[in-house]
Structure 1
Amino acid sequence: MATASAEKVNLEAKSPYEMRVHLGDDVPEVDVRSALKTGDMGFLHSYTTGSAVDGPGIRVVAWTTACMFRCQYCHNPDTWTLSNGIPVTLERAIDGVRKYAHGLKLMHGGFTLSGGEPLMQDRFAVRLLAAVKAMGVHTAMETNGFFGDKLSDEELKNIDLVILDMKAFTAEQHERVTGIKDNAEVFHFARRLAELKRPMWLRYVLVPGLTDVDEEMEQMAKFAASLGVIERVEILPFHQLGEYKWERLKLDYKLLDTKPPSGERVANAIGIFQAAGLNAC
């Protein structure tokens, strides 16, 4: 389980862009497998507090490690690998939220589980979100949706808001952006949430030359509007805050010369989703 050295690592980070690697390297493989099966332990990059951009109100955000996608624009590639995270017992993770619970409720905020991809550690995610929900704190999970079938309908009831990061609409574009062509499971999860009447936000990262494609966004907007449960669409302009991580990890960063999108292109993207009847910003 979690090592003594891991217990000394501060869970809270000043920023989610902080570089963290190899913090779980000394966890035996048998304990990793047990953790993934039971959820008794998780691997976390960090907690950040006071976030106003990861769900409604002021929030505490836990960033998990491990992700199946390799998005070209990822600003936290150190979260791709499970063992880069801090091995944290479920109890420690719960305590990390409990001390803020009263304030979060007063500020109409809550707790958001993000990543990485939280559903790479689905049992830990389920148990942590259920414990936070039991505190009376609003819960949200930011996910790419690829492993949505790992959650039962009953488990989804402990997630007040799903923030779905949609990378692309067509399979070809999805492969270009993430390295994985099959995105059928993402659509399946979105439709399932709609059938269950679960509230959703949609996030889309706007990258010049990569995702700033009107046809893609038009199809995505039409699909999102058809669901009937999308409360908000957030267009996130590309930035270079994570570029240094790609360099330090010796990864092939294809967007080194890419600039943030212009205000005009951001407005265009927002307009496409608004034209479909969605609340976009």
Structure 2
Amino acid sequence: MSIKGMIHSVETFGTVDGPGIRYIVFFQGCPLRCQYCHNRDTWNLKDGKEVTVDELINDIKKYIPFMKSSNGGVTISGGEPTLQLEFLTALLKELKNLGIHTCLDTSGFVHLDGVKGLLEYVDLVLLDIKHIDSEKHLMLTGVENKKTLEFAKYLAEINKDMWIRHVVVPTITDSPEDVKELAAFINTLKSVKKVELLPYHSMGKIKWKKLHQLYPLEDIKDATDQDLLRVAKLMDQKGVKVIGSVVA
């Protein structure tokens, strides 16, 4: 297909962004401005590499045996993939025509009516809930969380499988009150298959510096195993089991 889009990069043997071995396509462009973003160079849509759906599909086909043998597939990440709806939908359709398992890794900051159609071609949504408190979400990302929470509710309504992911940022996203509120919200979502805590790390600050940008969380320490364990215990108190954790 000749439909073109802008991507940042691909990873051919990903193991943490969905089940099995995965081919990951990182889309360019993001409406959020997360202070801890480790892919700062994905924000500007025009900074990406232009590719066609056919070009991506032809490369993905090389890895189908590895995906099939591991019950893996293709994950579309970013940036925020839903910024390029036509390109994203066309790619997902082709992947499903090939019988490939698809994951959409998203912030959920979407126009709900615009994305309902493409969800037909998505097997699993990896939903990043940055912060459960709307005002704190605004401070952390530049946008409120209303769209994200509405998207999560819609996924549950249509019984779309999802994994909830939450980055544990010490002193910012890990207060007991906020964690318990997040757990209470997750409990209302009946199609959640997994909850992952991702430890905040500062390795992405080098990208900010290369772009001559000040890194907003310069004084925040990286999350430790103890930080994740503490948050996991708080969630457990509310009936939410955290199944593993991965590096963000």
TM norm. shorter chain > 0.5 = yes
Counterparts of 1:50 and 1:272, CA distance in 2: 33
Q: Is the 8 A contact 1:66 1:116 kept in 2?
A: yes
Mapped pair 1:125 → 2:125: no
Aligned-pair CA distance for 1:239: 1.0
Partner of 1:26: none
Correspondence 1:168-179 to 2 at 5 A: 168-179=131-142
Partner of 1:54: 17
Partner of 2:159: 197
Runs of 4+ in structure 1 deviating by more than 2 angstroms, as ranges, are: 272-279
Correspondence 1:11-160 to 2 at 5 A: 40-149=3-112, 150-152=114-116, 154-160=117-123
**Partner amino acid, structure 1, of 2:212:** K
**Partner amino acid, structure 2, of 1:69:** L
**Partner amino acid, structure 2, of 1:51:** G
Partner of 2:176: 214
The CA deviation string for residues 29-83 of structure 1, in whole angstroms up to 9 with x for no partner, is: xxxxxxxxx9811111111011110001111100011101100100011000111
Distance 1:47 1:121, change over 3 A: same
Q: TM-score, normalised by structure 2?
A: 0.93
Counterparts of 1:242 and 1:259, CA distance in 2: 13
Partner of 1:249: 211
Q: Secondary structure at the match of 2:194?
A: strand
Aligned-pair CA distance for 1:95: 1.5
Aligned-pair CA distance for 1:258: 2.1
Correspondence 1:230-249 to 2 at 5 A: 230-249=192-211
Q: Secondary structure at the match of 1:239?
A: coil
Backbone CA RMSD of aligned residues: 1.5
The CA deviation string for residues 94-146 of structure 1, in whole angstroms up to 9 with x for no partner, is: 22212212321111111000000001111111111121122111100000111
Q: Secondary structure at the match of 1:267?
A: helix
Q: TM-score, normalised by structure 1?
A: 0.82
Larger deviation: 38-47 or 168-177?
38-47
Q: Unaligned regions of 5+ residues in structure 1, if any? A: 1-37
* Count of residue correspondences: 242
Q: Unaligned regions of 5+ residues in structure 2, if any? A: none
Q: Secondary structure at the match of 1:175?
A: helix
